[in-house]
């Protein structure tokens, strides 16, 4: 008889995962493991699981590819820093020629990155990462409010992404990796769409221009109505409908992967007013 829904779903990590003792909680997302330390509330793991399941619901082949390539998800506590995670403790900051850097980071490398230690860089830079080990954070997944006042924090210390769902963005990178493994034709079409968008000046000045991976990640957020708005000249993108008008080529490719409802039920930032920053 089930008496506690949380305990019925969340256990200690299975031994076959061979994880660091840091990880004390585990939940299964249809074959894909999600783990965390004991500091993460159970509800955050349940929400993360439901987001994963919904985003992959139209493409079981991509879910199978993630299982095959060993994809795993993690949820950081709001008290954790990026380098607290065992897999990321020894991460080095990127070099000046690293393709992951934005134009601003590259242009101001010595000032913004060069003087920082490896840990300082990553702990300031990231609250969630994509890859075979994809992470999100408790405060973002659950939508803890940003209670800052003119830069003076009055509330929780790590809510800089309030208004957009970073876990969806990082999960999109895992989806993209799975596409490259299971559907190379679609992967090539995504690359061509990115190249066309850059040639035509789309998304100028946005994070989505960094590389094809961020192009897909940012597009995924707009598809699910969970991204900060984008404004450039006469162009404005906030919703999935805006995305269809602005970048129909990307929209068409996203349609081949994700549910057509444009809504992840457990996404706290779906159609949230805090998405609006640039304004129309």
Residue 36 lies in a domain: yes
Rounded Cα distance, 161 and 140, in Å = 7
Contact 166, 127 (CB under 8 A): yes
Per the CB < 8 A criterion, the answer to whether 149 and 123 are in contact is no
Could you give the CA distance from residue 264 to residue 98 in angstroms, rounded to a whole number?
Answer: 33
Q: What is the mean pLDDT of each run of 10 residues along the chain (280 residues)?
A: 84 96 97 97 98 98 98 92 79 73 74 71 71 90 75 53 93 98 98 98 94 97 98 93 98 99 97 84
Domain total for the chain? Answer: 1
Spatial neighbors of 5 by CB under 8 A, at least 6 apart, are: none
Nearest to 219 by CA among 189, 193, 187, 243: 243
Domain membership flag for residue 14: yes
CATH code assigned at 264: 3.40.390
Asked if the structure places residue 101 within a domain, the reply is: yes
Kindly compute the dihedral angle of the four CA atoms of residues 235, 212, 225, 139, in this order, to the nearest 10 degrees: -120
The pLDDT, as a whole number, for residue 157 is 47
Q: How far apart are the first and last CA of the chain?
A: 54
User: 280 lies in a domain?
Assistant: no
In a domain, residue 216? The reply is: yes
Which helix H or strand E contains 190, and what residues bound it?
helix 184-199
Domain extent for 103: 5-275
Strands (E) across the chain are located at 25-29, 32-36, 72-76, 133-137, 148-149, 152-153, 230-232, 235-237
Q: What is the Cα–Cα distance from 251 to 121, expressed in whole angstroms?
A: 34
- Closest by CA to 85, choosing from 50, 131, 147, is 131
Q: What is the pTM of this model?
A: 0.88
pLDDT of residue 82: 80
> Is residue 81 in a domain?
yes
Please tell me the distance from the alpha carbon of residue 166 to that of residue 78, in angstroms, as a whole number.
14
d(CA 215, CA 181) in angstroms, rounded, equals 18
The CA distance from 95 to 118, in Å, is 11
């Amino acid at each position: 008889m089930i008496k506690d829904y949380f305990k019925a779903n969340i256990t200690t990590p299975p031994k076959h995962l061979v994880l660091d003792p840091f990880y004390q909680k585990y939940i299964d997302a249809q074959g894909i493991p999600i783990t965390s330390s004991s500091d993460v509330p159970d509800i955050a793991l349940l929400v993360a699981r439901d987001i994963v399941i919904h985003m992959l619901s139209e493409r079981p082949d991509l879910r199978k590819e993630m299982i095959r390539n060993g994809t795993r998800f993690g949820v950081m506590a709001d008290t954790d820093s990026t380098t607290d995670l065992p897999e990321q403790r020894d991460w080095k900051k990127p070099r000046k020629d690293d393709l992951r850097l934005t134009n601003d980071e590259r242009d101001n490398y010595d000032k913004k990155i060069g003087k920082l230690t490896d840990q300082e860089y990553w702990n300031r830079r990231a609250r969630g990462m994509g890859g075979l080990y994809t992470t999100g954070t408790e405060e973002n997944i659950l939508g803890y409010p940003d209670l800052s006042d003119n830069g003076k924090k009055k509330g929780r210390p790590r809510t800089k992404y309030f208004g957009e769902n970073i876990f969806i963005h990082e999960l999109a990178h895992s989806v993209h990796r799975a596409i490259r493994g299971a559907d190379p034709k679609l992967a090539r079409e995504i690359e061509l769409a990115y190249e066309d968008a850059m040639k035509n000046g789309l998304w100028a000045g946005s994070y989505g221009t960094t590389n094809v991976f961020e192009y897909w990640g940012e597009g995924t957020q707009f598809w699910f109505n969970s991204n900060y708005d984008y404004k450039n000249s006469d162009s404005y993108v906030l919703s999935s409908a805006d995305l269809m008008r602005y970048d129909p080529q990307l929209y068409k490719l996203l349609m081949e992967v994700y549910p057509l409802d444009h809504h992840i039920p457990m996404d706290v930032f779906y159609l949230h007013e805090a998405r609006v920053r640039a304004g129309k």
